Amino acid sequence: MKLFCMPLVAGALATASVADIYVWESFTDAVGGINSPTGGNGSGTPSVVVIGGNPIVSGSGNLYAPGGSFTCHLYGAGVVSNPTMEIENLGTSFDTTSFYLNTPTGPVYPTVEVESGGSGFGAFNTYSLSWAYSGPTIFFNFGSSAAHASLDRLTIGTFGEALPAPGALALLGLAGLGRRRRS
């Protein structure tokens, strides 16, 4: 996770969390192997894995299911704070009830906004998902609703936790020593 700390300003530490962004614009494995991000600024190693159905990798790099639905997991997001995800698909829509984040305490469901256009094979959908959750993740789940769905692009954003810089902690510790009572 990315974290930028700024120096003490007027006695207070200013910190800023910056999102780790991971982008998949093409896929290489449709049979349970690892699909690594093709872009983004993240320092982690998340991966998309097909866990159900029989999609193929199309000539354009999309995951395409000609004969039925398919389900994917996104692993490796680690500890997140209010993550967001955007799924772009072509053809048959994705199943919005399949969108969830699996955590050690069970599934957490997102708020979903859908922008659609076209129809039939020319249809396109953009799903914007956001979770009100902070903590460890096991995987993100998403899947198509029927045959002829194509996963065109996937983007996930996670946020790091704001932590004070080590130098600032040392200064605060020294300030505490100056106030120690003498006996």
The CATH number that applies at residue 124 is 2.60.120
Give 175's contacts (C-beta < 8 A, 6+ positions apart): none
Ranges of residues in the chain with a pLDDT under 70 are: 1-18, 160-183
Q: What is the per-residue pLDDT for 1?
A: 32
Total domains present in the chain: 1
Domain residues for 40? 2-169
177 domain residue, yes or no: no
Q: What is the per-residue pLDDT for 42?
A: 86
| Residue of 52, 57, 39 lying closest to 139 (CA atoms) | 52
Q: What is the per-residue pLDDT for 17?
A: 54
104 domain residue, yes or no: yes
47 domain residue, yes or no: yes
135 domain residue, yes or no: yes
pTM comes to 0.77
